[in-house]
Amino acid sequence: MQRMAMRQCTLADRVSFDGFGVHSGLPVSLVIEPAAPDNGFTITREYEDGRYVGPVSIHFSRITRTTLCTTIDIGESTDVETVEHVVSALSGLGVDNAHLTITNTECPILDGSALPFVKAIKKVGVTIQPQIKRFLKVKRAVTVRNDDAFAALEPYNGRVLDLEIDFDSPAIGRQRMIFNWSPKLYDERVAGARTFGFAHHRTALQQAGYALGSSLENSILVENDQVINPHGLRYEDEFVRHKLLDAVGDLALGGLPIYGRFRSYKGGHKLNSLVLQSLFASQANYEVVAADELPLAFEALEDLPTDLRVDAYLRSVG
Ligand SMILES: [Zn+2]
């Protein structure tokens, strides 16, 4: 088994995507580029006339809305919607640093999952950087609640997400997933899970300006308690897997990968952002820890081309 390098990594080359926003319905291009060590995930909005806003960190403190997707304010009254799927792909594969440039107000939905991002990143591979990886270690448990729904971050020796959903519709019902993170398992079990919606919500959502780009090409649609996509589901429990995909993306807005356990029941973007706020509310709740100070062993993605020539890189930068 190949162990994951405990140094930071970025993409070995740029990757780009053309699509449209699932909520706005507007066309958009997204480019993901390699970024310097300790950069984290940053974003710039580029306009046709060459004007741009950013770069800024894709950080939970910038979240302006969590209705149906995670939206951040990148400055100059410029919002970017649906950042969670692309950030989930980066974080899920163990990428530490990347810079995004988008040409419209929303990241492209593509097939509704993180798979197109993962495939593109696997194609170019990653470059290991000289700096050691850092984690946000949970030191004291925090919980946020909304009726019977909750999200929690707890001290734990590892990186685990334990997520449960419970929908009235028998097409979904109660589903739980306990995910012991590794890039390999993210690729196999999470990346392909698509977003979903209910046919009876559709008209109201579209009147409110959401789901304007939504179709069977990019969403699972449940109508009269049945999945109506012609090819059905990719996984039997695709719904909870997509919620987990969202949580991986939302939690990455903490700025560093979390070392600890995330638990959630009937959660979503709002509780995910509130639990991060709660974690950062007191410095006693967390600490930033270098990877070499943690008992860590993550299975790497075997088919992710990895440039391990760190020594050469170190020599070249002096
Ligand atoms: Zn989602």
Q: What structural domains and CATH numbers belong to the chain? A: 7-316 (3.30.1700.10)
Q: Tens digits of per-residue pLDDT, 39-85? A: 999 999 999 999 999 999 999 999 999 988 999 999 999 999 999 99
Q: Evaluate whether 61 touches 83 at the Cβ level (below 8 Å).
A: no
What's the CA-to-centroid distance between 191 and ligand 1, angstroms?
11
Query: Rounded to the nearest whole angstrom, what is the distance from the C-alpha of residue 117 to the centroid of ligand 1?
Result: 14
Partners of 44 in beta bridges? 101
Question: Average pLDDT, whole number, for the chain?
Answer: 92
Residue 307 pLDDT: 67
Report whether pLDDT(239) > 90: yes
CA 88 to ligand 1 center in whole angstroms: 9
pLDDT at 134: 95
Sequence letter at residue 198: F
What percentage of the chain has pLDDT greater than the value 90? 85
Distance CA 103, CA 303 (A): 31
Structure-block tokens of residue 251:
């939690």
Q: Is the pLDDT of residue 171 over 60?
A: yes
Task: Evaluate whether 134 touches 259 at the Cβ level (below 8 Å).
Answer: no
Rounded Cα–Cα distance for residues 140 and 285 (Å): 5
Across the range 162-190, mean pLDDT stands at: 95
Mean pLDDT of all residues in 289-299: 81
Catalytic residues: 269
Tens of pLDDT, residues 8-18: 999 999 999 99
**Position 221 pLDDT exceeds 80:** yes
Q: Of 300, 44, 29, nearest to 185 (Cα)? A: 300
Residue 274: band (very low, low, confident or very high) from pLDDT cuts 50, 70, 90 = very high
For residues 82 and 30, what is the distance between their CA atoms, to the nearest angstrom?
12
**Region for residue 221 given its phi and psi (left: phi exceeds 0; alpha: psi -120 to 50; beta: otherwise):** beta
Q: Identify the pLDDT of residue 3.
A: 54
Question: Residue 257 has what pLDDT?
Answer: 96
Confidence of residue 93 (pLDDT cuts 50, 70, 90): very high
Q: Are 97 and 129 in contact (CB under 8 A)?
A: yes
pLDDT score recorded for residue 312:
38
Does the pLDDT of residue 187 top 70, yes or no? yes
89 by DSSP, 3-state: which?
A: helix
pLDDT at 310 (0 to 100): 45
- Look at residue 67 in the predicted model and tell me its pLDDT: 87
Q: What is the pLDDT of residues 252-271, one digit of tens each?
A: 999 999 999 999 999 999 99
- Give CA separation, 245 vs 163, 239, 268, in Å: 10, 10, 11
d(CA 279, CA 139) in angstroms, rounded, equals 9
Distance from Cα 85 to the centre of ligand 1, integer Å: 6
Q: Label residue 306 by pLDDT band (50, 70, 90).
A: confident
Cα-to-centroid distance, 197 and ligand 1 (Å) = 10
Where helices occur in the chain by DSSP H, the ranges are: 84-92, 115-124, 183-185, 199-207, 238-251, 269-280, 310-316
Cis peptide before 257 (omega within 30 of 0): no
